[in-house]
Amino acid sequence: MYVHLGEGMVVDSSEVIAVFDYQTIKDAEMNQKVFSSQKKNGTWVQNADRPAKSVVLTENRWYVSPFNSATIRKRIGSAFSLLKNTK
């Protein structure tokens, strides 16, 4: 199943490793180094039109979403529930 992250970003829910609240993690020095590295590598995906509220880590990329991390987690949970019910 796919999960809409906002601003035209869609990811396969099975690839999601973690969902972080951006406000909670943005200021830590180590996180800033990781973010900078991901931006240089081209694995940081962000649409600057709306403020960042969450960061979604997948197998290949980091997605910055304008949706709250709780909203993303609910969407991922719904996707897994749908998969369970179809088997």
Q: What is the pLDDT along the chain (87 residues), one digit of tens a residue?
A: 899 999 889 999 999 999 999 999 999 999 999 999 999 999 999 987 889 999 999 999 999 999 999 999 998 887 655 545 555
Res 26: pLDDT: 92
Question: Tell me, what's the pLDDT at 58?
Answer: 95
CA quadruple 74, 51, 21, 46: dihedral positive or negative? positive
d(CA 53, CA 31): 15
Q: What pLDDT does 3 receive?
A: 93
CA distance 22 to 53: 5
Give buried/exposed letters for 34-59 (b at 16+ CB in 10 A, else e).
Answer: ebeebeeeeebbbeeeeeebbbbbbe
At 29 the pLDDT is: 95
